[in-house]
Amino acid sequence: MIRSRLVQGLIVSALAVILAGKLLFHVAVDPFLWTYGVLVTLVTFATFFSAYRYYKDPALEPPDPSVADLRPKVSCIVPVKNEERLIRRCVSSILGQTYDNLEVIVVDDGSTDRTPAILDEIAVAHPEVLVIHLPKNLGKKRAVEAGIARTTGSIFAFADSDSVLGRHAIERLVRALNAHPNAGAVSAHGRALNADVSVLTRIQDTWYEGQFRLSKGLESAYGAVTCASGCLSAFRREAIGPYVHAWAHDTFLGEEFRFATDRQMTGYVLRGEPHPTRKAVHAAANGGTHAVRKDWEVLYSESARVWTEVPPTWKKFLRQQTRWKKSFIRNLFFTGRFYWRRPKLAAFAFYLGILFVLVGPLIAFRAIYFLTAGGDFLSAPLYLAGVTFVGLLYGLDYKLRNPDSTNWLYRPLMSLISTFVLSWLLIYAAFTIRNPNWLTR
């Protein structure tokens, strides 16, 4: 514990020194790069500091005295399409949960491999598992909606079909909700199921660790997690139930947006009910009714563990990242409209994060190519050194929680991949956002 605190302190101190150096000892560098560097360092510092200092796992807190039912019924919904290799393992991990007040609903979304037959075998062996076969492929969101229509629980647990749940995962998610009655959703902690398959999967595993423990840790400290992960999350029925149909039938730019965006489902919880108008308040004062706003929190539990299969090849990885970029664009026009109401530091990190994604390609091009072509031969190495150094800090954080793994050495590669590859996918995703191709799970 002392060693962990020491390393955490060194990471935060290093970021503080870099930030102070940028602010106090301004050198003759490009002003755009300097401003971008200051803001990125500031957000990175805030992320590490807040995640270390203020995050507490809600699943490890005692239940709130106002909670009467500590064992509410949980409806676990698993949408699946063409997952014959992993679906048995996924369902088995759900059936093996320590939480007993659980119903399991698996929705086959028009699979064309052996998935339907495997699900029927599971249903025969485990009558407690309800299997729904959709007549054709409708997409993940419609499959989730079909599953919800058959639920009886007060809590929904959504799990991806290529995920394997830790034995205590759902128990921990329920404990987090019991400790925070005002929490509408809780995200589990995701890691790569196939981390040791290739260099690419090792890189993704280190990235997942930081995205959950640090980024979601910062947001959870303020009750404002922006994305309850699709690999495993729990939602209160009252928080998301009224919006499931709108989410499943979402339209964007005049067409149905079929990509299953976990960000937007989370956004509905974060948004809550609209503020009542003055007219409605006046009517209520005279005996009428009006909508009462519910400001739900969205939390993250580090101890609720789930492992999900990450893309093992570059082709599949780029397909996944393109889908995620399209969902990012869609969510920008949804959650971005109201997230400013959340705590200031979380909102600050959220909107600056959006800015970084939007201007990232331009900054990288300016630093690596444009300024170099103009004779500034220091801009590219300094920029890439900064990117690599931040990746190394994330890698050290990974090493703290995984002392026996050497995968932490791969984390800087993810930062470089983001710079040279992923940031540019945003442009492609924007121009092809109406194209449903590459629409896979």
Q: What is the DSSP string of 177-209?
A: HHH-TTEEEEEEEEEETTTTS-HHHHHHHHHHH
**3-state SS assignment for residue 342:** coil
* Contacts of 177 by beta carbon, 8 Å cutoff, 6+ apart: 155, 183, 186, 234, 236
Residue located via tokens 């399991």? 104
Residue 288 is predicted with a pLDDT of 37
Is residue 401 within 8 A of residue 209, CB to CB? The reply is: yes
| CA distances, 186 to each of 19, 141, 181, 213, 351 (Å) | 33, 19, 11, 13, 22
Distance CA 25, CA 171 (A): 51
Residue 436 is predicted with a pLDDT of 63
Q: Work out whether the CA dihedral 253, 256, 261, 263 comes out positive or negative.
A: positive
Distance CA 101, CA 69 (A): 12
Does the model's pTM come out above 0.85? yes
**pLDDT tens by residue, the chain, 441 residues:** 777 888 899 899 999 998 888 887 766 677 888 889 899 999 999 999 999 999 999 999 999 999 999 999 999 999 999 999 999 999 999 999 999 999 999 999 999 999 999 999 999 999 999 999 999 988 999 999 999 999 999 999 999 999 999 999 999 999 999 999 999 999 999 999 999 999 999 999 999 999 999 999 999 999 999 999 999 999 999 999 999 999 999 999 888 888 768 999 999 999 986 544 434 433 333 333 344 446 899 999 999 999 999 999 999 999 999 999 999 999 999 999 999 999 999 999 999 999 999 999 999 999 999 989 988 888 899 899 999 999 999 999 999 999 999 999 999 999 999 999 999 999 999 998 877 654 444
The token pair at 204 is 């993704």
Residue 234 phi, psi (nearest 5): -120, 140
The token pair at 412 is 């800087």
Q: Work out whether the CA dihedral 119, 122, 127, 129 comes out positive or negative.
A: negative
For CATH 3.90.550.10, the residue range(s) in the chain are 72-273+293-310
Residue 133 phi, psi (nearest 5): -105, 115
CATH class in words for 72-273+293-310? alpha beta
**Helical H runs in 374-437?**
379-401, 411-417, 423-431
The token pair at 275 is 């503020």
Residue 291 is predicted with a pLDDT of 41
Residue 433 is predicted with a pLDDT of 86
